[in-house]
Amino acid sequence: MFKGEVRIYGSTYNEAIYASDGTTVIENPTDCEKQAVLDALALIDPDKTAAEGVRLTFVPDTNYDITYQTDADGQPVLDENGLQIIDSEPTPLYTYQGTASAIP
């Protein structure tokens, strides 16, 4: 007999970013909103813009996304098997457990 589990996850948005203030969350931003944030970030620190550019900061969805450990440089931390170390797993909305057996 096989034991199994099905987990169902959900989110209130497809994508979320931080606004240029670094704290306000914009859910499901349009392309215009994304460009406005990039323009605002470029005005905040023009020296950084020339050297490395600016990027949008995406907001992880703790109810849907798995987050992984990273080092100080933002690179993934790997375990002894070369797999990324999970920092946190989302909480499923529903969990179904059951068993199944092959019909002889």
pLDDT at 38: 92
User: How far is the C-alpha of 8 from the C-alpha of 70, rounded, in Å?
Assistant: 26
Residue 95 reports pLDDT greater than 70:
yes
Return the higher-pLDDT residue of 23 and 100: 23
Which residues, in sequence order, are CB contacts of 93 under 8 Å at separation 6+? Answer: 8, 9, 10
Read off the pLDDT of residues 65-76 as tens digits, 9 standing for 90 and up.
888 999 988 899
pLDDT at 104: 59
Read off the pLDDT of residues 6-24 as tens digits, 9 standing for 90 and up.
889 988 899 999 999 999 9
User: How far is the C-alpha of 49 from the C-alpha of 42, rounded, in Å?
Assistant: 6
Q: Report residue 80 CA to chain centroid gap.
A: 24
Residue 100 reports pLDDT greater than 90:
no
pLDDT at 3: 79
